[in-house]
Amino acid sequence: MPTNKQPNKINNNNEEEVDLGSLFVIIGKGFTKFFNFIKDFFKGIFHIIISVLIFLKDNFVKIGVAAIIGLVIGFVLEVKKGKTYASDLLVEPNFKSARQLYNNVKFYNDLVRQKDTARIQKTFQLDKETAGSLKKFTIEPIVNENDIINSYDDFILSVDTTTVKSYTFDEFKRSFTDLDYKIHKIHVIAQKNDVFDQLDEIILSSVMDNKYFNRVKELVNENLNRTDSLLRMNLGQVDSLRRIYMQVMLEEAKKQSNGTSIDLGGEKRTTKELELFETNRKLNAELESVVLKKSNKYEVINVISNFQPIGYEIKEITKNIAFQLAALGALFMIFVLLLIKVNTYLSSYKK
């Protein structure tokens, strides 16, 4: 009987070759589209860059004139304003007093903006000329990622395991505000360079004299002093026990030297000696932590660095009025020219 197995096999091979060919064609088209996309993307970027350069080239004179006008006006205002000086005060607020400090600095800056020289005189006990020379008060945190990590560690130690699992580090970090950083910088600008050392005492006392913060400080320090005394007493007791164990071990060593004996409690005494040593180490570590906290919490606000008696002159070009108005003039002219081009395009689009 004739069989058709061979033709079927040939047909299957042909179908497989067709399928593979189609697959390679699809893959090839995919690569072609991908590379075309990359090519078009870079062509688009290149086109935008060239268009911007052509725009700037065609309008260079107009933009330059606007920048020069702004520069001249700014130069006149800069000369009229005179030299300005600045100084910084670095502080570490305790007992959540940072918010009060920020509010007070904002209040001082509002007085300067409102040109309320009389109230500035009264607040800082300055003469009229010196009070009028103050131009700006600002405060900002010294951003340090370690502050966030340390605060999160303290948070973990203060709550139960269930709360920690439901509150991740990323969530804690998002809730961390400027007020939560440890160190903050108070920045003051004035037209006189010798006014700054008259300001820090008033700024600090406005928070440090607060009855609430002082009461919290007293309670915290009382607690730390009590813990300090207790740890020192415990250390003394542990040292006494260690000396007793040493004496017992020496006495038993002498007895053993006078005759043979089997000490069945030797291993146990060694274990107790190690336990006492570990207890002593932990108590010393806790005492060191308490002493550090006492030094940090001794005041409502710790001063890291006072205002310099003589402020430094502000010479940054970005803070120069002439530079600012020159840049503003150039940007304004570019904005106007773009509006004109858009208007022209819209008019031609209607037609």
- DSSP letters for 183-200: -EEEEEEESSTT-GGGTH
For the record, the structure tokens of 270 come out as: 């060694």
pLDDT of amino acid 291? 84
Q: Which residue has the tokens 């003039």?
A: 329
The answer for residues whose C-beta is within 8 angstroms of residue 308's C-beta and 6 or more apart is: 87, 88, 196, 197
Q: Coil, helix or strand for 131?
A: helix
The residues pairing with 136 across neighbouring beta strands, listed in sequence order, are 189
What pTM does this model have?
0.64
DSSP 115: T
pLDDT digits (tens, 9 = 90+) for 124-171: 888 888 888 888 899 999 888 888 888 888 777 776 666 666 677 778
Other CB atoms within 10 Å distance of the CB of residue 339: 10
pLDDT for residue 258: 58
Distances (CA, A) of 208 to 9, 248, 288: 96, 55, 26
Q: Kindly state the helix (H) or strand (E) to which residue 87 belongs, with its residue range.
A: strand 85-93
Residue 305 has what pLDDT?
A: 87
Question: How many other CB atoms are there within 10 angstroms of residue 213's CB atom?
Answer: 20
pLDDT < 70 stretches in the chain: 1-24, 78-82, 159-166, 253, 256-273, 316-320, 349-351
Q: Which two tokens stand for residue 285?
A: 């570590």
pLDDT at 16: 54
